[in-house]
Chain A
Amino acid sequence: EADIYQTPRYLVIGTGKKITLECSQTMGHDKMYWYQQDPGMELHLIHYSYGVNSTEKGDLSSESTVSRIRTEHFPLTLESARPSHTSQYLCASSEWGRGVEDYTFGSGTRLTVV
């Protein structure tokens, strides 16, 4: 049973459309992240949040934006999708415990912009 949910799993959308990728977790984690991964490449951090009303940009520049109005919800929005946004987007949350940062990933959203 997944504790972190991403929707949609797959999305094909036309250039210029506005899209929101949803991410929700039921574990009460304060820290949440969005990673972007292209095939055969490493996961790149594009956004993270320490908690409600806290959002920061990650290492990889992204035209997307995020919000954190509730602890459990961390949606990612693209105002105008472009083919260069085609990628897999992975949401994760974490908490520190038992000597390790305990990460949980969602199943990802595979976005294709045509």
Chain B
Amino acid sequence: DQQVKQNSPSLSVQEGRISILNCDYTNSMFDYFLWYKKYPAEGPTFLISISSIKDKNEDGRFTVFLNKSAKHLSLHIVPSQPGDSAVYFCAASPDRGSTLGRLYFGRGTQLTVWP
């Protein structure tokens, strides 16, 4: 059973507008959350993360919001740029600094930013 869900397989946004990617999770033991970006024929690269003790984390154009009561997080990209076009994976982990740093991934959302 999927513990991390990204229900939108694709999102299309005009350049300069805001992109909002959503992610839901079911495991209340998840301790921190990450977003990865993946271009074709490359491995995922880390984008931004948030700990369960926070509800917002910002890094330049990227902001992640966490709503623990709703078990929901979202990634906002403002302003969106054509170079942001990629697959975005939401990931979660119940292990903060423990022996195993395994992650649970969603299925990804293909973001397309058009000029």
Contact = CB atoms under 8 A, between A and B. Distances in A.
Given A42-B106, A100-B32, A107 B97 contact: no
Contacts of A108: 41-43
Interface of B: 2, 4, 9, 32, 34, 36, 41-46, 49, 51, 89, 93, 95-97, 99-108
Nearest to B97: A96
A94 B101 contact: yes
Interface of A: 4, 6, 9, 31, 33, 35, 40-45, 48, 50, 58, 90, 92, 94-96, 99-103, 105-108, 110
Interface of B is mostly: loop
A48 B89 contact: no
Contact of A100 (B2, B45, B49, B89): B49
Contact of B101 (A31, A42, A44, A110): A31
A99 B33 CA distance: 12
A33 to B, nearest CB: 7
Nearest to B51: A99
